[in-house]
């Protein structure tokens, strides 16, 4: 699970404000890093405006990128995560909201970095287990597809064998008739 951008926002009457954001640009091309950050902030604000309470949303940027934006809202707090597509996003966003849910952000009126998102501890053992399960599931599907293909191949070979057998019988009968005709001459 590679996280590119994480943000915690507070919903206000006018627009969502950033309580914290963290950006990891190591995997992004050097030439487009700043544009990617701008896009992540813009998408975070727009997604925060559209989220309903206790709703989880996944949105892809476009087909040429291999990451998506995930959002989860609890009350007036919204957690946003831009990362490569994985199933751990929901549990990660819930973890962010649980960590900061009981804090009072009433005084915050403007974008700021008033919390440290590094406080969040991700349970890697659970993520590792989920990754292993996903890999195992993919291997099982691949093996089943191979077995089905082999089964289809066996059916095709069996059908061809029957055709060859029928052809051989017809040839044998035709050759016996020819032999009888030849002997009768």
Residues 8 and 81 in one domain: yes
- Total domains, the chain: 2
Q: What is the pTM of this model?
A: 0.50
Q: Whose structure tokens read 């006018």? A: 14
Same-domain status, 47 and 114: yes
Confidence of residue 1 (pLDDT cuts 50, 70, 90): very low
Question: Are both 151 and 107 inside the same structural domain?
Answer: no
**What is the spatial distance between Cα 83 and Cα 8, in angstroms, rounded to a whole number?**
15
70 and 7 in one domain? yes
In tens, the pLDDT along 51-67 reads 888 777 777 765 555 67
| Domain boundary residue, one of 89, 122, 155 | 122
> In 76-162, at which residue ranges do the beta strands (DSSP E only) sit?
77-84
Question: In the predicted model, is pLDDT for residue 3 greater than 80?
Answer: no
Domain boundary among 101, 122, 143: 122
In terms of domains, do 56 and 95 share one?
Answer: yes
57 within 8 A of 47, measured Cβ to Cβ: yes
* Token code pair at residue 90: 């929901």
Average pLDDT, the chain: 76
Higher pLDDT, 121 or 82: 82
Task: Say what the alpha-carbon torsion angle 169, 173, 179, 184 is, to the nearest 10 degrees.
Answer: 170
Structural domain boundaries, residue 16:
3-122
Last residue of a domain, one of 72, 91, 122: 122
Residue count of the chain? 185
Mean pLDDT value of segment 3-19? 80
């Amino acid at each position: 699970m590679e996280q590119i951008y994480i943000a915690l926002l507070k919903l206000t009457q006018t627009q969502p404000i950033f309580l914290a954001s963290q950006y990891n640009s190591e995997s992004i091309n050097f030439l487009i890093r700043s544009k990617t950050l701008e896009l992540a902030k813009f998408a975070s604000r727009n997604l925060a405006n559209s989220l309903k309470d206790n709703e989880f949303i996944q949105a892809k940027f476009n087909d040429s990128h291999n990451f998506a934006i995930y959002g989860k809202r609890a009350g007036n707090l919204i957690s946003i995560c831009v990362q490569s597509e994985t199933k751990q996003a929901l549990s990660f966003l819930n973890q962010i909201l649980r960590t900061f849910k009981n804090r009072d952000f009433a005084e915050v009126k403007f974008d700021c970095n008033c919390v440290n998102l590094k406080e969040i501890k991700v349970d890697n053992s659970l993520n590792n287990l989920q990754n292993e399960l996903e890999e195992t599931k993919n291997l099982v599907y691949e093996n089943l597809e191979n077995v089905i293909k082999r089964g289809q191949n066996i059916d095709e070979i069996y059908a061809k064998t029957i055709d060859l057998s029928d052809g051989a019988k017809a040839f044998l009968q035709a050759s016996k008739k020819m032999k009888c005709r030849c002997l009768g001459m």
